[in-house]
């Protein structure tokens, strides 16, 4: 994704990824990961998603990664977080007792950064990337996740010629192509809706990092 495009998108008052409430797929299916409730959860391309607050409310710690500093600053301000500057050699950002918010390039995230990560949540990362970057994203996610890390992946499939992204159309078939080499996959739900006159099918996939 062109960094300048992403920064310009966050200059707009409303983004296509923004939701005022936690995502209903997250609240409905997060328990399918069978976590204890105190794990660290990686949220790639997190923006200012309220889903991160919901995860903290479930007892988790959150590691969010986002290119736009404006998005992270807005998240901290809107949730009245008592945050300190992030201490990191590569990323800037914010940190609280329950959250570390990395501002920078997701592809610079290392396995060491994710050493405490037990799960990931992707509602708006894969679908934010154009086709030529999605393979790279899936490979890097597999690289930074330890064996056994589980995740919840939400994608949307629609006629890409009928609506421009992001969010982009990602089919279930593409999910298998991108992730099956490194992750065990299970599709657990799908839902079809109309948005701006376009039929969209959203799907939820459980992922688990295979042993290397």
Which residues pair with residue 121 across a beta bridge? 152
Q: What are phi and psi of 139, to 5 degrees?
A: -65, -40
The dihedral formed by the CA atoms of 88, 48, 1 and 132, expressed in degrees to the nearest 10: 110
> pLDDT value at position 15?
52
Query: Residue 196: which pLDDT band, with cuts at 50, 70 and 90?
Result: confident
Question: Do residues 49 and 125 touch, judged by C-beta distance below 8 A?
Answer: no
Distance CA 136, CA 107 (A): 9
If one compares 2 and 193, the residue with the highest pLDDT of the two is 193
Q: In a 3-state reduction of DSSP, which class is residue 24?
A: helix
Residue 17: CB atoms within 10 Å: 19
Of 11-15, 60-64, 169-173, least confident by mean pLDDT is 11-15
Predicted TM-score of the model (pTM) = 0.93
| 6-60: pLDDT as tens digits | 555 555 555 555 678 999 999 999 999 999 999 999 999 999 999 999 999 999 9
Mean pLDDT of 89-109: 97
Sequence ranges of the domains in the chain: 3-7+38-209
Beta-strand relationship, 150-157 and 117-122: parallel
**Which CATH fold topology does 3-7+38-209 show?**
Rossmann fold (3.40.50)
For residue 3, pLDDT beyond 80:
no
DSSP string, 125-167: SGGGS-HHHHHHHHHHHHHHSPTT-EEEEEEEE--TTTS--SS
Q: What percent of the chain has pLDDT over 90?
A: 87
Provide the β-strand partners of residue 61: 40
Contact 137, 126 (CB under 8 A): yes
pLDDT the model gives residue 19: 75
How do beta strands 84-85 and 117-122 pair?
Answer: unpaired
Neighbours of 164 (CB within 10 A): 7
- What is residue 164's predicted lDDT score, i.e. its pLDDT? 85
Predicted confidence at residue 146, as pLDDT, reads 99
On average, the pLDDT of the chain sits at 93
């Amino acid at each position: 994704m062109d960094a300048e495009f992403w920064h310009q998108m966050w200059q707009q008052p409303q983004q296509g990824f923004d939701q005022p409430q936690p995502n209903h797929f997250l609240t409905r299916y997060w328990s399918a990961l069978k976590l204890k409730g105190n794990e660290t959860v990686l949220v790639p391309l997190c923006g200012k998603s309220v889903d991160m607050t919901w995860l903290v409310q479930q007892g988790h710690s959150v590691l969010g990664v986002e290119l736009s500093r404006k998005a992270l600053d807005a998240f901290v301000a809107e949730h009245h977080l008592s945050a300190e500057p992030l201490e990191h050699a590569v990323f800037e950002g914010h940190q609280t007792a329950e959250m570390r918010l990395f501002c920078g390039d997701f592809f610079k995230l290392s396995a060491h950064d994710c050493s405490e990560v037990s799960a990931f949540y992707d509602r708006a990362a894969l679908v934010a990337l154009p086709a030529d970057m999605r393979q790279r994203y899936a490979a890097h996610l597999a690289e930074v996740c330890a064996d056994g890390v589980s995740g919840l992946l939400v994608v949307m499939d629609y006629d890409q010629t009928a609506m421009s992204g992001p969010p982009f159309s990602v089919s279930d078939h593409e999910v298998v192509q991108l992730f099956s080499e490194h992750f065990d996959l299970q599709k657990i739900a799908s839902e079809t809706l109309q948005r701006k006159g376009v039929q969209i099918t959203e799907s939820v996939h459980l992922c688990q990092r295979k042993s290397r």
